[in-house]
């Protein structure tokens, strides 16, 4: 059975809502938050719970997508891909292939998140709330020396790859998406 994107999103939202209720959160609050999301869109989510919740939703959706391509979303590679795209806005897709500083910071953040995700999953803390908290903590950790060091080390091999890629391919269609 092939599901539409709307059906997949609806299924994920309902599943995550039920997880929160099963974890003891007030059913009325969960249902109201879900209704606010559906009627108010992404802006309602970011004003309600910050960027971490939005990243969690994008990550859940992307996990389903990569699983359909045969990539285990719980593997380190699957987590890194999911985290990278959860951290990325559509308007920044072209920057991943053209802006070395931007891309190395995105990769560093995704690697750190993936390590946290593996520990969180191993401890059985795989809930919507724990994922949103993880995303919020990682957002705060972007200003740490460890994050900067990792991003700087990635620069040495990511930048030449991006330069080579940009020299071979026309990336102008991606720039049009951002505008």
How far apart are alpha carbons 4 and 172 in whole angstroms?
29
Note the pLDDT tens digit of each residue in 88-139: 876 787 788 788 999 898 888 888 888 888 888 787 776 766 766 776 777 7
pLDDT at site 35: 63
Q: Note whether 56 and 86 are within 8 A (CB).
A: yes
What residues contact residue 129 under an 8 Å CB cut-off, 6+ apart? 20, 23, 25
pLDDT at site 45: 43
How far apart are alpha carbons 38 and 72 in whole angstroms?
29
pLDDT at site 6: 59
Give the H or E element holding residue 178. Answer: helix 172-178
Cα torsion angle, 100, 105, 110, 112, sign:
positive
pLDDT at site 174: 62
Note the pLDDT tens digit of each residue in 11-56: 777 777 777 777 776 677 666 666 655 554 444 444 444 455 666 6
The domain locations on the chain are 73-178
pLDDT at site 34: 64
The 8-class DSSP code of residue 127 comes to S
pTM for the model stands at 0.59
pLDDT-derived band at 176, boundaries 50, 70, 90: low
Burial of 119 (0-12, 13-18, 19+ CB in 10 A): exposed
Note the pLDDT tens digit of each residue in 125-174: 767 667 667 767 777 777 788 888 888 898 998 889 888 877 787 767 66
């Amino acid at each position: 059975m092939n599901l539409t994107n709307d059906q997949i999103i609806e299924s994920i939202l309902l599943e995550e809502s039920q997880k929160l209720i099963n974890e003891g959160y007030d059913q009325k609050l969960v249902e109201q938050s879900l209704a606010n999301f559906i009627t108010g869109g992404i802006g309602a989510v970011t004003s309600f719970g910050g960027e971490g919740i939005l990243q969690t939703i994008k990550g859940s959706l992307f996990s389903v997508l990569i699983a359909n391509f045969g990539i285990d979303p719980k593997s380190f590679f699957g987590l890194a891909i999911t985290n990278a795209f959860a951290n990325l806005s559509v308007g920044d897709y072209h920057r991943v292939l053209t802006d070395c500083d931007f891309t190395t910071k995105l990769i560093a953040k995704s690697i750190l998140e993936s390590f946290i995700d593996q520990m969180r999953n191993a401890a059985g803390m795989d809930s919507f709330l724990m994922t949103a908290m993880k995303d919020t903590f990682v957002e705060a950790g972007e200003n740490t020396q460890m994050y900067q060091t990792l991003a700087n080390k990635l620069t040495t091999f990511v930048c030449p790859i991006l330069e080579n890629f940009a020299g071979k391919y026309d990336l102008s269609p991606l720039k049009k998406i951002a505008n």
